[in-house]
Structure 1
Amino acid sequence: MTKGNRLATFAGATCLHLTSIGTIIVANRSYLYSTNVIPGPSAKTSGRKLIGIAEWNYDIPIVFKILLSGAPRTCPSSIWDNSEEIALIGDYASGVKNLEGFLSQIHLPEAQPLIAEALEFLHKPENQNQYLVLECGEIFDMGDAPLLEQNLALLEELNDLAPEMNRALQSLLPPPMAPPKPAGLLSRLLGRTPEPAPPAHDVMPSLYGLGLGNWSNILYFDFSDA
């Protein structure tokens, strides 16, 4: 198989396109699904359900990784026509529990609506399954290494997420502020106004960057009718 061989209708998936003046706009994304069976050649005949959970442009956010941290292992892709195991699967309940532990460390008032939204979505019975599946083939395809090699590296990363989780929490802290410069004698004599205070730290981009706020059952690759 060629490295970039994707099947938009593989396993019956519907490919949802966004168009602009007749041009298809496609971002490389990571995709998160819940499923009741382990992906593979016999998954569809085994009554497979693949429920869209979230997708993310040009990255694999920390929230996706934490959700896959419950007994993660490799599995075949449901999107790519590739005989190698280039997707990941993990336990749904364990992944959600791990995410709850991470989010409980975020006490910012601005974060609470996003946290509540995430947990409400993940606890909906219609979204819950035995497994979560992470499809990162499009992200891997932007790199030079083989897809399987990158997937194995991601699996290794999932088994030791503590350093990245700590960095993510640190990213929510405001940057250190330099102490205000005292007005010089000349400035005081001339009656110059002191320098204005720097703008308040906007934490929202960092919160969204964790992988929050993008929950949906409708993803680019839709398996609802598959």
Structure 2
Amino acid sequence: MHRSNHRGQPYLYSTNVIPGPSAKANDRKLIGISEWNYDIPIVFKLLLSGNPKTCPSSIWDNPEEIALIGDYASGVKNLEGFLSKVALPSAQDLIAESIDFLNKPDNQNQYFVLECGEIFDMSEIPLLEQNLALLEQIRNLQPEAEQALQSLVPPPVVPPKPVGFFSKLLGRAPESQTPAQDPMKPIYALGLGNWSNILYFDFTNA
């Protein structure tokens, strides 16, 4: 496939063959797993964290290795370890959905492939340089994983200010409080809830 337009999405696939010039000749399969908007979520990085390496892109016509590949089984195991630390009751359905999807035999392959060319292309930094930086980040995910877990801890509830005597007398309404954040937003931001075999770049019949 040729250079994509600027949709700003990373694409996650599973595959049975390492992408490269001879991949198609080896009965390659590329199964859609997920895509995201304008970010590379921690879930994608965890799934790539099983012995990650650079590899050629299957989407972009680029001679450099601007995609990443990692071991499927190890990536799922690493994700399960991370999700086991998420205790929020509201997250459990999304977690169960994720594990079920990733453990479906039709989705399982030897490798995960992460295509971030569209994200990289939004910057002036060379694509290969960004891919190598992402690879290094995935190899040292612990700080980011801890930060992601911390983001799920709800902020302390600030009680509303009591209405003063003169405010009551004058009929003033109490000061409006800052609207509460959607409690599901940080959970979805991990990269959950968007699993699909049909991605924008679909290789089903390729």
Q: Is residue 35 from structure 1 mapped to residue 15 from structure 2 by the alignment?
A: yes
1:89-114 per-position Cα deviation (integer Å, ceiling 9, x unaligned)? 00000000000011111111111111
Q: Which residue of 2 aligns with 1:137?
A: 117
Q: How far did 1:167 drift?
A: 1.5
Q: How far did 1:28 drift?
A: 1.8
Alignment equivalent of 1:128, drawn from 84, 87, 108: 108
User: 1:87·1:136 contact (CA, 8 Å) conserved in 2?
Assistant: yes
Return the letter of the residue paired with 1:66. L
Structure 2 segments unaligned to the other structure (5+ residues): none
Q: Which residue of 2 aligns with 1:19?
A: none
Distance 1:57 1:197 in 2: 30
User: 1:34·1:53 contact (CA, 8 Å) conserved in 2?
Assistant: yes
User: 1:174·1:201 contact (CA, 8 Å) conserved in 2?
Assistant: no
Distance 1:198 1:138 in 2: 35
Q: Which residue of 1 aligns with 2:50?
A: 70
What TM-score, normalized to structure 2?
A: 0.91
Q: Which residue of 2 aligns with 1:88?
A: 68
Which is richer in strand?
1
Q: Which residue of 2 aligns with 1:21?
A: none
Structural mapping, 1:2-41, within 5 Å: 7=2, 27-41=7-21
Q: Is residue 206 from structure 1 mapped to residue 201 from structure 2 by the alignment?
A: no
1:26-50 per-position Cα deviation (integer Å, ceiling 9, x unaligned)? 6221000000111000000011111
User: 2:6·2:122 contact (CA, 8 Å) conserved in 1?
Assistant: no
Per the alignment, in what secondary structure is the counterpart of residue 221 of structure 1?
A: coil
Distance 1:191 1:34 in 2: 63
Structural mapping, 1:44-123, within 5 Å: 44-123=24-103
Q: Which residue of 2 aligns with 1:215?
A: 195
1:93-143 per-position Cα deviation (integer Å, ceiling 9, x unaligned)? 000000001111111111111111100000000000000000000100001
Distance 2:116 2:171 in 1: 60
Count residues in correspondence: 206
What TM-score, normalized to structure 1?
A: 0.83
Deviates more, 1:103-112 or 1:193-202: 193-202
Return the letter of the residue paired with 1:181. K
Q: Is residue 164 from structure 1 mapped to residue 144 from structure 2 by the alignment?
A: yes
User: 2:73·2:110 contact (CA, 8 Å) conserved in 1?
Assistant: yes
Q: How far did 1:166 drift?
A: 1.4
Distance 1:215 1:185, change over 3 A: same
User: 1:52·1:219 contact (CA, 8 Å) conserved in 2?
Assistant: yes
RMSD of the alignment, in Å?
2.2
Distance 1:196 1:141, change over 3 A: closer
Identity of aligned residues (%): 71
